[in-house]
Amino acid sequence: MSTVSKPAAVGPLPVSELDELLVTYPFGNSEYVTSEMHRCYKRRLASISERVPLARDVLEALDRADPYVLYRVMGDTAFRCAVQHLHVQIEDEIPYGMPPERCHEILKGSLQSLKGKVPGLIGSALSDRVGGEPFHGWVWREDCPETIFTEAFRSIVDDHYGLTLHTPSSDELTALAEAVRLLGEVLPNISRSVLSHTHLVAVFAPTGQWATTRSSSEFRISGTIFLSQRTLSNVWALAEHILHESLHQQLYDIRAGHSLLAPDFARADAPLVHSLWNMPDSTRGNYWDIHRTLAAFHVYVHLALFARAAREPAEGKQYTARYGPAQMVGPNTALARARYLGDQLRQQGWAELGPAGRQIVDWLHSVLEVVDADPIVQGSFVHLLLDRYWRESSMVRSLAAVQTVDTELLPQFSRLLQEELDCARSVLGTLGYDLTSFDEALGSFGSEESFERFASVRGLIAETLLRACPERYVLSSSHAADDRVRRMVEESSETLRKLLGR
């Protein structure tokens, strides 16, 4: 498989050219990926057909089906789960997923839909879609008619997520359509390819443990993406999350039909990649397995294109005029995260990837070479840590604004801030950095304890440390200063996590 060749001319390729180029590569081509995924599910049906004669009937109907009906039935979450659950139950002889009786009901219903040329299973009970193109998926409604497929979907979501699904209002449906239209204008070829893997969009209520989650996808519920109701308030952020989760769906379909990962990639002692920009939690959720790392790498390369297009002088102004100011991950942030994840996959995860996984890493790395005209120094990490440091500060400011942080904790926040100041001044002094402007800015924040001062001073520390990097995000050639900043951020993050009870 070929990669993307870097042009002789200096500078990145235009986004419009990359948008056309990326879908010509097999793993960016929706028709190829979908056809291979179909082969996989047909093989599973064939392997269980001796024990489940109905599977043979479904397989024969799939082989005779109209292409669009085939696409919608095999893309349906209930159908995929029924096939996969039965396959595991029979091949491994263990209880797994839905009861066999429900899986049989879904296969029987699928056979009827195929014979009746009905394009969709869950979708046949739904009226709303995110757009008018044939590849645009349906939008879940809680008040949809009960069918064997919608009942199965509810049980699948309950088993895997336990979240509360929400019926979008007319304004929210409009927001979904606007976000999809925006994607189609900015990245017409990529968005068409990627969105074709999302057959259903479900909106969930931002409550309980899902209060801060913006979107979600799950390999075992492929074909469906989940978006928080909160995400629907800004068209740019919504478009970003739809693209993000649909890219996951594309990778899930690749995984179904290819050797994306080594057979034992999920073993207990498998390597984990530390996503430096994410805040720690009690579950160590900021340490990712290789599949999640590859999925994030895949996403950030594409988000870098989307973000760059939004900021290009001519096209960007047209988009913001129609859709408002862009509120999404910045192109430099997306590129920095993509570079880091790609490096980590090669350094830590190469043995955990299958042949297809390695080809995808090589492909995406070649894309980065033509997207990023001014790459950061390989191995740098200070910028990623300070990204987290700054976002933690913003979180504290936001929580304080709605009075969800106990003011009695202010002295502890202030002590933590002083420790960070002492460390930052020491690092800057070691580098010979002139602290005059730093001290002047620090004085402007006053000395009275407040959450606002905590956030503002942290922002000053982050900005100053970044400016002090003589190379792109490397503080010192020995990395001694970089390592001190790493320890400061990691220790501060852990203290902050405990103060906030997270």
Residue 439 burial (C-beta neighbours within 10 Å; 0-12, 13-18, 19+): exposed
> Residue 154 carries which side chain, given as an amino acid letter?
R
Cα-to-chain-centroid distance, residue 279 = 16
| Cα diameter, the chain | 80
Quote the pLDDT of residue 69.
98
The token duo for 402 is: 């709605």
Instruction: Calculate the alpha carbon distances from 466 to 330, 334, 420, 428 in Å.
Output: 17, 17, 15, 11
pLDDT class of 224 with cuts at 50, 70, 90: very high
Contact by Cβ (8 Å): 477, 380 = no
What would the DSSP string read from start to end of 140-183?
--TTSPP-HHHHHHHHHHHHHT---EE---HHHHHHHHHHHHHH
**Percent of the chain at pLDDT above 70?**
98
Q: On the CB side of 37, how many CA atoms lie within 13 Å of its CA? A: 30
The pTM score is 0.94
pLDDT digits (tens, 9 = 90+) for 171-206: 999 999 999 999 999 999 999 999 999 999 999 999
Q: Which residues on neighbouring strands pair with residue 474, listed in sequence order? A: 471
Residue type, 488: M
Helix (H) or strand (E) holding 474: none
- Residue written as tokens 């390989």? 378
Q: Other CB atoms closer than 10 Å to residue 128's CB: what's the count?
A: 16
At 80 the pLDDT is 98
- Cα distance between residue 382 and residue 493, in whole Å: 14
pLDDT at position 5 is: 55
Residue 383 CA to residue 397 CA, distance in Å, equals 21
Cα 222 from chain centre? 14
What value does the mean pLDDT take over residues 483-496? 96
403 within 8 A of 333, measured Cβ to Cβ: no
- Choose the weakest-confidence range: 11-20, 146-155, 156-165: 11-20
| 313, two tokens | 């002088």
Residue ranges of domains in the chain: 21-371, 382-499
Cα(282)–Cα(496) distance, integer angstroms: 12
Q: Could you count the other beta carbons within 10 Å of the beta carbon of residue 195?
A: 27
Looking at residue 10, its pLDDT comes to: 42
Task: Check: CB of residue 25 under 8 Å from CB of residue 1.
Answer: yes
Residue whose pair of structure tokens reads 């109907």 in the numeric block? 61
**Segment holding 385, helix H or strand E:** helix 382-401
CA distances from 42 to 49, 87, 160, 384 (A): 10, 11, 25, 43
pLDDT band per the 50, 70, 90 thresholds, residue 282: confident
Strand partners, 274: 287
Task: Give the model's pLDDT for residue 62.
Answer: 98
CA–CA distance, 195 with 33 (Å, rounded to integer) = 13
In angstroms, rounded to a whole number, what is the distance separating the alpha carbons of residues 220 and 157? 10
Segment 29-32 long-range contacts (CB within 8 Å, at least 24 positions apart) = 29/193, 30/135, 30/192, 30/193, 30/194, 30/196, 30/197, 30/250
DSSP string over 441-470: HHHHT-SS--HHHHHHHHHHHHHHHHHT-S
CA distance 285 to 279: 9
pLDDT bracket for residue 2 (50, 70, 90): low
pLDDT computed for residue 412 by the predictor: 95
